[in-house]
Structure formats: structure tokens, C-alpha cells
Amino acid sequence: MNTFYSAACSLPCRINDVIFALHACAATLVVMLQILMYERGDQRLSKTCMAVTAGIIAICGGVMVAAQSDYFASVQDLDLMYVIGYVKVV
């Protein structure tokens, strides 16, 4: 079994997890390049979509800051991964 272990973390990570993440990054990069390349005309994002996106970014940023801060000892890096996973589901 191809499993990677980090010295700081006891959670195993298989090679298919790494390949899946790299594939997702590559697919997202292709979509982002297409967004930049193709003409949008007069299409714009709605204010609701911008507000929801800003809220999600603010929540993830807040959890990231809390996870790195010594003041919030109960918030860990794994909590950030959970929040990002919930955003993916939403």
C-alpha cells in the first residue's frame, strides 16, 4: 500500500489522494484560463453571488488566521480543512 506519513501528522495520505488533488488543480487552472480567454460580452456576476463569495472567503480567511494564531489554541489546521470541505459541498 502506497501511504505517506508526515512527521507532524498521523493521518495517512495515499498516492491516489495526491494525484486526485493535482488533477483538480490542473482542471481548475484550465477553467480559469478559459475564463480569461473567452469574451464575456456584457455578462456580470450578480450582487448576491459576489456577497456569498465574499462571505465564504471571509470565513475561510478567519479560520485560517485562527488556526495559525496562538490566541485560538482550540482551532487547528484540520478545522480549516473541514471548513474548506463544507464550502466545497455548499
C-alpha cell at 87: 464550502
Q: What is the C-alpha separation between 17 and 9, in angstroms, rounded? A: 16
Measured distance CA(28)–CA(73) in Å, rounded: 33
* Structural domain harbouring 17: 1-43
CA torsion sign for 56, 58, 61, 62 is negative
Same domain, 27 and 60: no
pLDDT at 20 > cutoff 80: yes
Same domain, 51 and 39: no
In sequence order, the 6+-apart residues with CB closer than 8 A to the CB of 69 are: 75
27 and 49 co-located in one domain: no
Least confident of 2-11, 30-39, 74-83: 2-11
Query: Residue 13 gets which letter from DSSP?
Result: E
pTM confidence score: 0.54
- Identify whether residues 90 and 59 lie together within a single domain: yes
Q: Is the pLDDT of residue 69 over 90?
A: no
